[in-house]
Every structure is written in C-alpha cells, then in structure tokens.
Amino acid sequence: MVKYILKRLFQSLLTVLLVVCVVFVLMRMMPKEYFFTEDELMKFTDQQKYSKLEAQGIMDICSRCHGNGLLEDGSACPDCMTYSTNPNQGTGYVDRPVLVQLGDFFSSMFEMRVFNAKGKEVKSIVPVSLWQWLGDRENAFGELKEGYRPRLCFNLGKSIRLEKGQYVTDVIAVKMSVSMSIGLVSLAISLVLGVVLGVLQARYKDGLFDHVGTGYTVLVNAVPHLVIYTIIMIAGASIFGLPMRYDATAAEPWRTMVLPVVCLSIGSTAGYMLWTRRYMVDELNKDYIRLAKLKGLSDRKVMFRHVLKNAFVPLAQYLPYSILLTVGGSLLVERFFAVPGMGPELTNAISRYDLNLVQGIVLLYATMGILGVFLGDLLMTIIDPRIKLTGKGDVR
C-alpha cells in the first residue's frame, strides 16, 4: 500500500509538472499584443511595450546592440529586427527563449525575502543571486544587523496585471480562504440535504415525494443558473432583506454570505439527491437486500445499515475532490455577488494575460484535482474494505 501511495504521488507530481509546463509554454506563445490592454496599446510607445515585456521576463535587451537597435557602424542590428517596423533600426529587444523562462520559473520557486524591522519586505533574492548575497557576508550580515530578517518563501512570482505586484501565493491564499469558507458551508448543507432527500426519494420511490424531488432536480438542471441566481438575489433581498453583495466589513458579515451559499447549494443539493437516489435504487434491487428483507430485517435497518452504506461508496469517492475543489470557488456565484474568491480569478487572469497568476492557479487546481481523486480512492478502500487498490480485490 505504501509503495502504491508513493507511486501515485510520484505520478501526480509528474502530471502537475507537465500541466504547468504546457500552460507555461502555451501562454508564452501568444502574440505580444495580448499582453497589453487596449488602453496600453493606445498610449504606449513601442519602447514602453518592450520595456514592459522585459520587466516580465518575456524579452531581453539585445546584447549585440545594447538596446540601441543599431550596430557600431550605424547599420540595423540583425538580432533585434523581428518586431521592428523600421528597416533601418532594430527594436533593441529580443525574445527570451521559452525554455530559459521556464528555467527561471522553476529556479525561483523558492526565494529568500528580506524584511525590515517594520516587517516590510525590502528585498527578494532568488537562489542564483542568493549565493552572491550570502557570499558578501559583510553586506549580508550588515543588513541583518539593522534589524532585517531573511525568510525562505515559496514563490510563484508576482501578479503582473490583476493585482499588480502582489505575490501570487498571497493572492491565492486570501482568495482561497474566502471561497473555502463559502464553499465548505455550502458543501455541508448540500451533502446533508442531498443525501437525506435522496434517501427519502429512494425509500418512497414513485411516490409524491420522489416525483417532487425529481422535478426539483430537473428544474435546477434545466433552468440556466444565472436565472436562478437572479431570482434568488431579488427574492432574498426584497422578501428577507438579505444583502445582495458579499461584504466582509458589514456589521453582520454572515448575512452577506447567505445568498451566495444558497445559490451554491441549490445545484449541488440536486446533484447529491440525484446520485443518492440512483445508487440507493440500484442497491435496493440487489439480491442481498431481498435476502435481508426475507430474514426479517426492518426497513430502517435495511435502508441505513446496508443500502445507504453501499450506495454511499461511489459518492464518497468524490467527497475529497469536492472538498478540495471548494478552494476554486464558483465563477458565476462569486461574480454575481461580488465575492472576492477564487471563482473568477482564473478566467480573469487568462483574459488579462496575467501569466504568473494563471500558472499559480493552474498549479493549484491541478494539484487539488489530482490529490482529490487520489484521496477519493483511498477513502473508498476505507469505507469498503473489499476494494483493493493493488492486486485483485473482491468483486463488489
């Protein structure tokens, strides 16, 4: 089992690395103009554009002409003519090779940050220059003597557009906590409600309750979510006086979370109802249930001790995944109620070409996704010992 876990972890790590590399390369294959807003394209000179790309590590100042675009004899520098519109002069900038950029990304994943006495960061040192900094001991310890404190940090770079200058790890940490706080409450509500209602639907199959439950499931899945959210927002505000926007500064912040939680729970409750009912009905039709009933077990014992326990196994597989994915928030709900969570962050980052943020979020999602599936598999083996992840297990 330990060997299997280590193997899965190694495979997961490789998959995450692969995903990050692919996204990294794809984002950098975009035409340069994608890295600017229309406003910037309108106002920036070419010089400004290249300068900005250089600051982002996408371009380098041309080493052959030292950024002049001209060689010493006054002729155009051939190395930096790729984007030049002037046949007599280069731009002074050349593309930084993508593999070098990828190397920069991985080599700076851990960096030393130096904080002053007030706790404000004054310097960040990537491993390459860390040795230089430490090598100059007089300087290094001189800085420390002034009350500076070094700290080793996990680094995914800084946001270059959405939250310009903020560390991606900080941005993600803050947003994750907001999304998770709403997501976990919603998950708990929908799991409890969905499973209980699904059990009742199965118990009273083809009865009124089952039909109402099925109707609810169909309705939630058929009506566009935006319509449902709009109705909930207007009804919640006008009938119950609930705030229409998330507001952490409100006198009672929990009230501002009610409508987003309700919206998030509506869909997933329907999902849990649907699958619980389906797995329960499947189990109810099996021979061992008939046998249990023939042996005189009460309906209640059959339903909870046998049917629900077995029906819950496939649901449990996705539970860790669902819990971990609450860090991702919900694009629609968070945008609709101005929840400052992770939901819209990836689409925002992609649409604004915030490379570092995209990479950071993709890394997080890939890790959470793979870890969620892995933990789900483990959970299944715990709930149902017949399932073996290695070798041949019993047939269920």
Partner 1 sequence: MKKVLSIVLALALLLGMASFASADELTELNTYETQARELETWNVHYSQAAADLNVLCNLFDGLLTNDNHGNLKANAAKSYETPDNGKTWIFTLNEGMKWINKEGEEQADVKASDWATGLEWVLNYSKNDSYNVSMPAEMIAGANDYYEYTKAMAESEGADAVKALDAGEGSKFAETVGIAVDDAAGTITYTLVDTLPYFPSVATYNCLYPLSAELIEEVGVDGYRDITWEDMWYSGAYVVTYYEFQNQKVLEKAPNYWNDANCKRFDKVTIKMVESPATAYQLFKEGQLDHVTPLDTATLQDIYNEKADAEYKANLVESRPTKYSYQMHLVYAKNLEDGETPDVNWNTAVANENFRKSWYYGLDLTGYFARTNAINPLSCQNFCYTGNGVAFTSNGTDYTQLVRDELGLQYSTENYARLNKELAAECKAKAMEELTAKGVTFPVEVDYYISGASTTAAETAKVLENIFSECLGDDYVKLVTKTYTSLAPEVRTPRKASFYINGWGADFADPINFLGQETYNDPQAYYSNAYSHCNENDDPDLVAAYQEFTGLVTEAKAITGDLDARYAAFAKAEACFLNHALVIPCSYEIGWELTKINNYTKVYSMYGMQAYRYVDWETSTEAYTTEQMAANAEAYAAQ
Rounded CA-CA distance 342/329 in Å is 5
Task: Give the residue with the Cβ less far from partner 1, 315 or 327.
Answer: 327
Candidates 2, 29, 74, 120; binder of partner 1 (CB under 8 A) is 120
Tell me: does residue 55 bind partner 1 (CB under 8 A): yes
**What residues numbered 168-227 form the site for partner 1, per CB under 8 A?**
171, 175
- Residue 174's Cα: distance from chain center in Å? 12
Query: What is the C-alpha to C-alpha distance for residues 27 and 18, in angstroms, rounded to an integer?
Result: 14
Amino acid identity for residue 3 in this structure: K
The rounded distance, in Å, linking the Cα atoms of 298 and 102 is 63
For the chain, the farthest-separated pair of C-alpha atoms sits apart, in whole angstroms, at 101
- Return the range that interacts with partner 1 (CB under 8 A); candidates 213-221, 258-266, 335-343, 365-373: 335-343
**Residue closer to partner 1 (CB basis): 2 or 29:** 29
Does 108 participate in binding partner 1 (rule CB under 8 A)? no
Distance (Å, rounded) from C-alpha 266 to C-alpha 279? 20
> Can you tell me which of 15, 84, 108, 124 binds partner 1, judged by CB under 8 A?
124
Helix axes 168-203, 253-284, angle to 10 degrees: 50
Q: How many C-beta neighbours within 10 Å does residue 207 have?
A: 12
Q: In the set 158, 197, 265, 363, which binds partner 1 (CB under 8 A)?
A: 158
Which x/- pattern, by CB under 8 A, does the window 264-303 give for partner 1? ----------------------------------------
Q: Does 48 bind partner 1 (CB under 8 A)?
A: yes
Are 35 and 353 in contact by the 8 Å Cβ rule? The answer is yes
Least separation in angstroms between residue 44's CB and partner 1 is 8
The CA distance from 146 to 116, in Å, is: 8
Torsion, Cα 54 55 56 57, to 10 degrees, reads 50
What is the separation, in whole angstroms, between the first and last Cα of the chain?
Answer: 20
Residues 198 and 275 sit within 8 Å (Cβ to Cβ): yes
Q: Which is nearer to partner 1, 34 or 304 (CB)?
A: 34
Q: How far is the CB of 238 from partner 1 (least distance, A)?
A: 8
Can residue 12 be called a binding residue for partner 1 (CB under 8 A)? no
CA 71 to centroid of chain Cα atoms: 47
**Minimum Å distance from CB 120 to partner 1?**
6
Within positions 365 to 394, which residues make up the interface with partner 1, using CB under 8 A? Answer: none
| Binding track, positions 16-35, relative to partner 1; x by CB under 8 A | --------------xx-xx-
Query: Which residues neighbour 209 within 8 Å (Cβ) at sequence distance 6 or greater?
Result: 200, 201
Is the CB of 293 or the CB of 335 nearer to partner 1?
Answer: 335
Chain contacts with partner 1 (rule: CB under 8 A) = 30-31, 33-34, 36-45, 47-48, 51-52, 55, 61, 66-67, 116, 118, 120-124, 158, 161-166, 171, 175, 233-234, 237, 243-249, 335-336, 338-340, 344, 348
